[in-house]
């Protein structure tokens, strides 16, 4: 017998029935309001640091509490692993100051919040594909933007709220404040504009600037709204009521019949499934006709988005054996032609590059590295898409794809090795130093190498369903290792090492890196020549002024604290670089032309 589901079972609160859906909605609102307050109090202080960790920890705790009370089946080992990764990447805001790392951490947190949506969408997290991850991102974003409106307008049954005692007065007061607030603000603003003395009185009494009040209201509303919508989306499907069995729904009683006749009519309906206005012979002929033939009932195939495959597409858009052979075969020939040209340089090294006539090192390194990184990045989605489009009726097509894709990955590893060699030449003893635009693509290629190995282990061995989960965690692993590397510090160390070997040191670029690199730069300051020392001092003096107001504990960051400690011995020197700073920043130093 089909039930009505726990969401529609009434909950009696002080004599008033409140269903579980309304209770869930109120619990979500409570958590969302708390997160809104924390978001406004914590995240309004910039640059971000400790506040990001505290906010995300509170958000994760609130979400776990809601799931534990309303959908405990969603709190799996995979979910807790994702929560742990979320807290880890939020804690990285406390460790490093690099803007590139902060952007990567933000992307990782958004990806984790998207993947946390999958179990509620009836998809096993570790078996979902790239398509499901993309849908989860879109659906979680949609819920964060619009889910709160549904929560307030449809999920919560407001008439079940208690409306007696002190609660009645509280709700009346809230309604009165909601109506009076805009009127007070409008008339108050007019009075302040009409009289300077009244304006001064209001400012002295409240000491609140309108723009600050507006920013508080905006941040609180934004964080509360998005949190409520996201949490509503996470719990909605798990809290969906069971659909009532149509056969268990009783027909409405006929008001023209007596209760006894209605009972008889209902009994007749249940016995025959037909109206009772026919004779017994008609009932027999209709229910069991003489010429009735046993025919199998067609079964309707339900579409499951979680198992989305190429059967939903017209055959013209899928790939057979010939198409796979032509596409991957031609690409393999193209890759092979490039590899043949690169092999001598890979084994010949710098000597071959330097002895080749009309061949410049800068042209070889600069021209090739970015393009080869792009090639490496494009191969993965191309292979995933072509594998997804393979027609399933011919097993040989799958085998051909595995063979040709394996060859392509092998050739790609040679191409990636060529790209790495070009980077080594570009940043080596005879090169031009290391920068973020050279280091981060190398880190990205390291992740691609791991992903292509995982692609071979999963997709090429018939276990595609495990690919996306492993690729996601490999990205988390590489990002975590990047934090340990500390890219900006590594860049300055590398460039100083090259300077010691006689290479030119770009003082302007290295001194404009994040505070992660500043201690290394300060410790090597005495090794710089006089011109570079002047550039570094002017840049650090400007940065010292810009950061003079960053004393809020909410913005605390380990890298910025280390940088401040490293600058302490040079405070007087930095303050003497220019006669004055701006009015808001007493130690401000105007940046040098071209040093932006």
Q: Per residue in 344-390, pLDDT tens?
A: 776 665 565 555 544 455 556 566 677 888 899 999 999 999 999 99
In angstroms, the CA 135 to CA 468 distance is 13
Tell me, what's the pLDDT at 290? 55
167 has a pLDDT exceeding 80: no
Using 50, 70 and 90 to split pLDDT, how confident is the model at 310? confident
518 has a pLDDT exceeding 90: yes
Report which of residues 89 and 438 the model is more confident about.
89
* Least confident piece of the model among 59-63, 363-367, 410-414: 363-367
201 has a pLDDT exceeding 90: no
277 has a pLDDT exceeding 80: no
Report which of residues 77 and 276 the model is more confident about.
77
**Mean pLDDT across the chain, nearest whole number?**
80
15 has a pLDDT exceeding 60: no
Residue with tokens 């534990």: 68
218 has a pLDDT exceeding 90: no
State the number of CA atoms in the 13 A half-sphere of 387 facing the CB: 26
Residues 227-245 have a mean pLDDT of 69
Tell me, what's the pLDDT at 163? 59
State the number of CA atoms in the 13 A half-sphere of 339 facing the CB: 18
Tell me, what's the pLDDT at 21? 84
56 has a pLDDT exceeding 90: yes
In angstroms, the CA 129 to CA 13 distance is 44
Buried b (16+ CB within 10 A) or exposed e, 8-41: eeeeeeeeeebbbbbbbbebbbebbebbbbbbbb
**What's phi and psi for 17, nearest 5 deg?**
-80, 125
Tell me, what's the pLDDT at 586? 42
In angstroms, the CA 480 to CA 484 distance is 7
11 has a pLDDT exceeding 90: no
Residue with tokens 């939903």: 312
In angstroms, the CA 139 to CA 80 distance is 21
**What's phi and psi for 139, nearest 5 deg?**
-70, -40
242 has a pLDDT exceeding 60: no
State both tokens at 206.
């409240």
67 has a pLDDT exceeding 50: yes
Ramachandran category for residue 270: left, alpha or beta (phi over 0 → left; psi -120 to 50 → alpha): alpha
Residue with tokens 């597409």: 313
**Helical ranges in 389-523 per DSSP H:** 395-427, 436-458, 467-485, 487-500, 507-511, 518-523
Tell me, what's the pLDDT at 293? 55
Task: Tell me the β-bridge partners of 17.
Answer: 12
Using 50, 70 and 90 to split pLDDT, how confident is the model at 2? very low
Most confident of 32-46, 155-169, 301-315: 32-46
Report which of residues 243 and 35 the model is more confident about.
35
Tell me, what's the pLDDT at 205? 74
Tell me, what's the pLDDT at 596? 31
Report which of residues 281 and 63 the model is more confident about.
63
State percent of the chain over pLDDT 70: 73
Using 50, 70 and 90 to split pLDDT, how confident is the model at 272? very low
């Amino acid at each position: 017998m089909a039930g009505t589901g726990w969401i529609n079972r009434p909950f009696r609160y002080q004599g008033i029935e409140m269903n579980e859906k309304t209770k869930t909605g109120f619990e979500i609102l409570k958590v969302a309001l708390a997160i809104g307050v924390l978001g406004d109090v914590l995240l309004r202080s910039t640059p971000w640091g400790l506040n990001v960790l505290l906010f995300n920890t509170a958000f994760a705790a609130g979400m776990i509490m809601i799931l534990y009370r309303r959908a405990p089946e969603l709190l799996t080992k995979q979910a807790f692993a994702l929560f742990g990764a979320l807290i880890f990447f939020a804690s990285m805001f406390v460790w490093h100051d690099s803007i590139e790392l902060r952007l990567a951490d933000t992307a990782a947190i958004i990806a984790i919040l998207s993947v946390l949506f999958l179990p509620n969408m009836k998809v096993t997290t570790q078996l979902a594909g790239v398509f499901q991850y993309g849908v989860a991102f879109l659906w979680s974003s949609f819920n964060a933007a619009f889910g709160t409106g549904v929560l307030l307008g449809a999920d919560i049954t407001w008439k079940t709220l208690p409306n007696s005692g002190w609660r009645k007065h509280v709700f009346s007061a809230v309604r009165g404040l909601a109506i009076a607030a805009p009127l007070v603000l409008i008339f108050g603003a007019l009075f302040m504009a009409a009289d300077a003395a009244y304006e001064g009185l209001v400012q002295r009494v409240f000491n609140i600037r309108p723009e600050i009040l507006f920013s508080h209201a905006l941040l609180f509303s934004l964080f509360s709204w998005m949190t409520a919508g996201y949490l509503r989306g996470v719990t909605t499907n798990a809290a969906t009521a069971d659909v009532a069995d149509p056969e268990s729904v009783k027909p409405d009683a006929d008001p023209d019949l007596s209760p006894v006749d209605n009972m008889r009519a209902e009994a007749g309906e249940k016995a025959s499934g037909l109206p009772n206005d026919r004779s017994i012979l008609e009932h027999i002929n209709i229910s069991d006709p003489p010429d009735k033939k046993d025919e199998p009932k067609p079964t309707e195939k339900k579409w499951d988005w979680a198992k989305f495959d190429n059967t939903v597409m017209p055959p013209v858009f899928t790939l057979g054996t010939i198409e796979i052979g032509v596409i991957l075969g031609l690409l393999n020939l193209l890759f092979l032609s490039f590899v043949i040209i690169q092999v001598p340089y890979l084994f010949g090294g710098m000597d071959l590059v330097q002895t080749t006539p009309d061949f410049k090192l800068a042209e070889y390194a600069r021209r090739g590295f970015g393009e080869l990184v792009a090639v490496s990045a494009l191969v993965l989605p191309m292979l995933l898409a072509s594998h997804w489009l393979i027609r399933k009726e011919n097993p040989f097509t799958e085998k051909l794809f595995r063979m040709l894709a394996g060859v392509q990955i092998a050739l790609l590893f040679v191409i990636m090795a060529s790209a790495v060699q070009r980077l080594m030449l570009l940043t080596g003893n005879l090169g031009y130093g290391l920068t973020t635009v050279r280091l981060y693509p190398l880190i990205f290629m390291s992740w691609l190498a791991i992903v292509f190995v995982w692609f071979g282990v999963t997709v090429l061995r018939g276990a595609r369903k495990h690919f996306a989960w492993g690729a996601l965690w490999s990205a988390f692993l590489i990002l975590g290792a990047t934090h340990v590397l500390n890219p900006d510090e590594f860049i300055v160390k590398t460039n100083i090492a090259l300077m010691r070997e006689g290479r030119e040191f770009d003082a302007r670029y290295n001194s404009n890196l994040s505070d992660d690199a500043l201690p290394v730069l300060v410790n090597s300051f005495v090794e710089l020549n006089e011109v570079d020392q002047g550039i570094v001092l002017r840049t650090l003096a400007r940065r010292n002024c810009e950061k003079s107001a960053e004393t809020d504990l909410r913005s605390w960051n380990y890298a910025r604290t280390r940088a401040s400690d490293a600058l302490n011995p040079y405070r007087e020197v930095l303050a003497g670089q220019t006669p004055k700073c701006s009015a808001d920043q007493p130690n401000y130093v105007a940046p040098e032309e071209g040093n932006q």
